[in-house]
Amino acid sequence: MRILITAGPTREYLDDVRYLSNASSGRMGFALAEAVMVAGHQVALACGPVSLTPPPGCELHLVETTDELLAKCNELFPGCDGVIATAAVCDYRPRTRFPGKLAKTGVSLELELVETADVLADLGRNKGTRWIVGFALESNEYAHVNALRKLKEKNCDVIVLNRPTAIGSESNRIELIDAGGKTVAVYSGTKSDVASQLWAWIEETIVSRTT
């Protein structure tokens, strides 16, 4: 099989040197890429700006903005059997990107933000016979409900719920939620261990059903 994995953050520029982003390290996506490859499959890794080395033999595609990630996913997804979308996409961008570097003027700058493209939703609309595993980072008491809504809206097979404590961390705790809203698995440990357990579950539960 050939699996598309998205990883890391995206950046949305205010001017030529400043941008909106988040603290995603990309470790979860890279750990999943390694787990999938150890299992004998091919990986196309679409990744935002991170300081990580991909597994040997991994097909790496570097992107920066959300639009670039969307374009790369649309290019790669037709040639893949499924996607694991771990990327922490920047949800907003400045409406206007200013040329050069904005200088201080002594007065406040009002910044208008607009939503970026919804990469996972776009993949869901073009899913066809392929499978989709999405990630949802949620921080409040409605985390499970919000993750389930995302699963349905994005046409995922399963959604992986994790918390802000995962950002930049070497470890993670994830909860797998199926289309019926049931928690079907919970894994915790290093991101490498969690990735191996998650991929084993995907192979046993999703891949076996679609092959």
Dihedral sign for Cα 62, 68, 71, 73, please: positive
Q: Identify the burial level of 129 via C-beta atoms within 10 angstroms of its C-beta, where 0-12 means exposed, 13-18 middle and 19 or more buried.
A: exposed
Tally of CA atoms within 13 A in the half-sphere of 3 that contains its CB: 31
155 is catalytic: no
Q: Which residues are catalytic?
A: 22
